[in-house]
């Protein structure tokens, strides 16, 4: 049988392999709610403009409501022969209301339809993602406040560098999540224009009201150029870019959890809720959720790369290649949603080993910079020279196999005679973090102030809805 939608021109149906490569219903069925919403708004506009009768519009609207409830109930029969969600809905509408269904497609095309549907879908994804990252920030800031004074080793090159607080470390991810949310919000602003009414590519001769359909769907305005409207997928690319960066942040954090929970390091413990055991090694407690968060990043970055490559060779306007925009993006958004929720759960769950953290924070002469700073501050030695003096003191401690604060004062004075007992007080990890009061520094009072400010801000945001 030739196709119902374009059978006028066609004598034969498609080859099986043609149908197989062309079909998109398995993916775009997830756009059903957006497709139906856009059709309802379109039909109402057509009636308001006198392009179809009010009666037809009413029947179309009712039929579309029935279809939505059939899909929600699971009783809708998605047909692969009908290719995509648009034709599945239209065909069912014809069964339900008869000839009037054929008037719905006046002054539009599947090209502006799919662009509209997917914009609405991605907009919903952005809103859900924003809420999930706000939850993530809330849990991070709550734990940061709890651990504003918990000292842990800070690393560069994964080598113990200077003591920091665990709260400070967690707050770093609050800032990253804030930028992630900012990128999603930016993408949303540019996304929020309506392609509907661009029709196939050139616009239409019917006196449609694109402003009305845009408004009805919550868009800020109609897109200004019909060719651009049907062929633009920047909104997917931008959202995927934001998702790729956000996933990368989550992956870095996941990697830290993997490191921290390793028995070799032992800074943090996850409960049974966020670990798995081994089928052979009874002692194992594996951070699978963190590892999977790390791995899901591959899907998200992969989806971005894949779509960039799909788009890069496409002339204006619509090309069927663009049908490939949805599957990878939907999977990527799903992966990000899982990843952020899993990280939120792990942050709530994790328990730092404070005693171990404190010991580790002081290992590797982590307070050497504090001694150098003391020499600069008290003895007015230029920092470069203080660095050198401290280096010699560290070498002496290392030779004796003791920590910096365990080195006798006399051994320090052998290097720099003016060093007094006061300097020793600077060498504890607590004193070290307490002294880091510069803006953005790790001092416990900074960290609690930052955490509290974020919690207030998040609460306010939530109230504004
Ligand atoms: N399933 C198509 C897609 O996702 C809908 C648009 C089809 N348009 C067309 N001219 N064949 O892109």
Q: What is the pLDDT of residues 339-381, one digit of tens each?
A: 999 999 999 999 999 999 999 999 889 999 999 999 999 999 9
Summarised one tens digit per residue, pLDDT across range 201-243 is: 999 999 999 999 999 999 999 999 999 999 999 999 999 999 9
Dihedrals phi, psi of 268, to nearest 5 degrees: -140, 150
- In angstroms, rounded to a whole number, what is the distance separating the alpha carbons of residues 321 and 170? 42
What single string gives the DSSP state of each residue in 186-228? HHHHHH-EE-TT-TTTT--SS---HHHHHHHTT-SEE-S-HHH
Report pLDDT for 176.
98
Helices (H) and strands (E) in the chain, counts: 19, 6
Q: Does residue 134 carry a pLDDT above 60?
A: yes
Q: Which residues contact 185 (CB under 8 A, 6 or more apart)?
A: 126, 130
- In angstroms, rounded to a whole number, what is the distance separating the alpha carbons of residues 369 and 314? 56
Q: For a pocket test of ligand 1, which of 9, 86, 87, 111 has the largest count of ligand atoms closer than 8 A to its C-beta?
A: 111
Cα(18) to centroid(ligand 1), Å: 14
**Biggest alpha carbon–alpha carbon distance for the chain:** 100
**What pTM was computed for the model?**
0.95
Q: Compute the Cα dihedral for 294, 296, 298, 301 and give only its sign.
A: negative
Cα(324) to centroid(ligand 1), Å: 10
Question: Tokens representing 304?
Answer: 């971005």
278 in active site = yes
Dihedrals phi, psi of 221, to nearest 5 degrees: -170, 165
**pLDDT band (50, 70, 90) for residue 11:** confident
**pLDDT band (50, 70, 90) for residue 145:** very high
Dihedrals phi, psi of 247, to nearest 5 degrees: -65, -35
Q: Does residue 6 carry a pLDDT above 80?
A: no
Q: Does residue 2 carry a pLDDT above 70?
A: no
Atom number in ligand 1 closest to CA 24: 1
- In angstroms, rounded to a whole number, what is the distance separating the alpha carbons of residues 260 and 63? 57
Q: How many CB atoms lie within 10 A of CB 38?
A: 28
- Asked whether the beta carbons of 30 and 121 are under 8 A apart, the reply is yes
Cα(13) to centroid(ligand 1), Å: 18
Q: Does residue 1 carry a pLDDT above 70?
A: no
Closest C-alpha among 202, 221, 3, 45 to residue 111: 202
Q: Using a 6 Å CB cutoff, which residues line ligand 1? A: 24, 28, 84, 110-111, 114, 318, 320, 322-323
- In angstroms, rounded to a whole number, what is the distance separating the alpha carbons of residues 56 and 44? 10
- In angstroms, rounded to a whole number, what is the distance separating the alpha carbons of residues 110 and 405? 73
Which of the residues 157, 205, 279, 410 is marked catalytic?
157
- Asked whether the beta carbons of 193 and 214 are under 8 A apart, the reply is yes
Q: For a pocket test of ligand 1, which of 39, 195, 323 has the largest count of ligand atoms closer than 8 A to its C-beta?
A: 323
Output DSSP code: residue 31.
G
Q: Does residue 13 carry a pLDDT above 90?
A: no
Cα(87) to centroid(ligand 1), Å: 10
């Amino acid at each position: 049988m030739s196709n119902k939608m374009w059978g006028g021109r066609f004598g034969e149906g498609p080859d099986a392999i043609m149908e197989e490569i062309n079909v998109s219903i398995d993916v775009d069925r997830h756009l059903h709610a957006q497709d139906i919403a856009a059709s309802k708004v379109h039909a109402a506009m057509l009636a308001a403009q006198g392009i179809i009768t009010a009666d037809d519009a009413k029947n179309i609207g009712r039929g579309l409501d029935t279809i939505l409830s059939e899909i929600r109930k699971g009783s809708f029969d998605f047909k692969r022969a009908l290719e995509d969600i648009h034709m599945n809905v239209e065909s069912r509408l014809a069964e339900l209301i008869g000839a009037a269904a054929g008037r719905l497609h006046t002054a539009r095309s599947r090209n502006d339809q799919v662009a509209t549907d997917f914009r609405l879908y991605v907009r919903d994804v952005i809103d859900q993602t924003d809420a999930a990252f706000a939850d993530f920030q809330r849990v991070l800031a709550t734990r940061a406040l709890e651990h504003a004074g918990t000292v842990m080793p800070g690393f560069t090159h994964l080598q113990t560098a200077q003591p920091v607080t665990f709260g400070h470390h967690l707050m770093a991810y609050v800032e990253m999540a804030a930028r992630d949310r900012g990128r999603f919000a930016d993408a949303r602003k540019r996304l929020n224009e309506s392609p509907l009414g661009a029709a196939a590519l050139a616009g239409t001769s019917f006196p449609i009201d694109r402003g009305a359909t845009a408004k009805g769907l919550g868009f800020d305005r109609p897109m200004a150029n019909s060719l651009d409207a049907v062929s633009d997928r920047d909104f997917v690319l931008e959202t995927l870019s934001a998702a790729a960066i956000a996933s990368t942040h989550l992956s870095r954090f996941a990697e830290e959890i993997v490191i921290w929970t390793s028995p070799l390091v032992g800074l943090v413990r996850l409960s049974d809720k966020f670990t798995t055991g081994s089928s052979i090694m009874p002692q194992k407690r594996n951070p699978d959720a963190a590892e999977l968060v790390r791995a899901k990043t591959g899907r998200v970055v992969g989806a971005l790369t894949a779509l960039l490559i799909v788009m890069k060779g496409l002339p204006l306007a619509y090309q069927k290649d663009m049908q490939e925009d949805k599957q990878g993006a939907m999977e990527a958004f799903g992966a990000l949603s899982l990843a952020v929720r899993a990280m939120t759960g792990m942050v709530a769950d994790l328990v730092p080993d404070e005693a171990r953290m404190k010991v580790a924070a002081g290992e590797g002469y982590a307070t050497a910079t504090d001694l150098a700073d003391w020499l600069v501050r008290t003895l007015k030695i230029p920092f470069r020279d203080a660095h050198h003096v401290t280096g010699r003191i560290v070498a002496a401690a290392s030779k004796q196999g003791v920590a910096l604060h365990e080195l006798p004062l006399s051994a320090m004075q052998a290097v720099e005679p003016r060093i007094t007992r006061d300097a020793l007080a600077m060498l504890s990890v607590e004193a070290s973090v307490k002294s880091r009061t510069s803006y953005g520094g790790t001092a416990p009072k900074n960290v609690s102030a930052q955490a509290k400010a974020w919690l207030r801000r998040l609460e306010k945001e939530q109230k504004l809805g």
